[in-house]
Amino acid sequence: MTRIALIAHDRKKPDLIEFAQTHESQLREYDLIATGTTGKRLREETDLEVERMESGPHGGDLMIGAEVAAGDLDGVVFLRDPLRAQPHEPDISALLRICDVRDTALATNLASAAFLIEGLAE
């Protein structure tokens, strides 16, 4: 089954929830993982099944990076706040690097996220 990760900085979590609600029928076809708080909100605000990793400050983004490194993820959606990311939030640098090394699709905004899930469906 296609496996994707969903991550969002605090100010982008509402956008990710809305994206998941809009694309719920398609996302239901995927095996989903998310960082802790994002995964909790996705479970509460959608009918999607989401495996939760640790929260970002506790290494959840690194856990997702390890899955990319192991070849266990087909794509990552990381909605980041490029203007006001907080020190406790995950840093995209390491995740971006491992996605590039492993040739794994990484979307950082809603437009690229839509292309990512559409592309994985084909």
Q: Which domains can be identified in the chain, with CATH numbers?
A: 3-121 (3.40.50.1380)
Q: Using one digit for the tens of pLDDT, what is the confidence trace for 28-60?
A: 999 999 999 999 999 999 999 999 999 988 899
Q: Using one digit for the tens of pLDDT, what is the confidence trace for 73-90?
A: 999 999 988 776 565 556
Q: Is 55 annotated as a binding residue?
A: yes
Token reading at 107: 């979307």
Supply the pLDDT for residue 56. 83
Supply the pLDDT for residue 91. 66
CA 73 – CA 84 distance, rounded (Å): 28
Beta strands in 1-122 (DSSP E): 3-8, 31-34, 50-52, 75-79, 105-107
How high is the mean pLDDT of the chain? 92
Q: Is 119 annotated as a binding residue?
A: no
> Which residue is catalytic, options 31, 61, 72, 100?
61
Tell me if residue 103 is catalytic: no
Q: Is 56 annotated as a binding residue?
A: yes
- Given the structure tokens 């266990």, which residue do they identify? 72
pLDDT at 2 over 80: yes
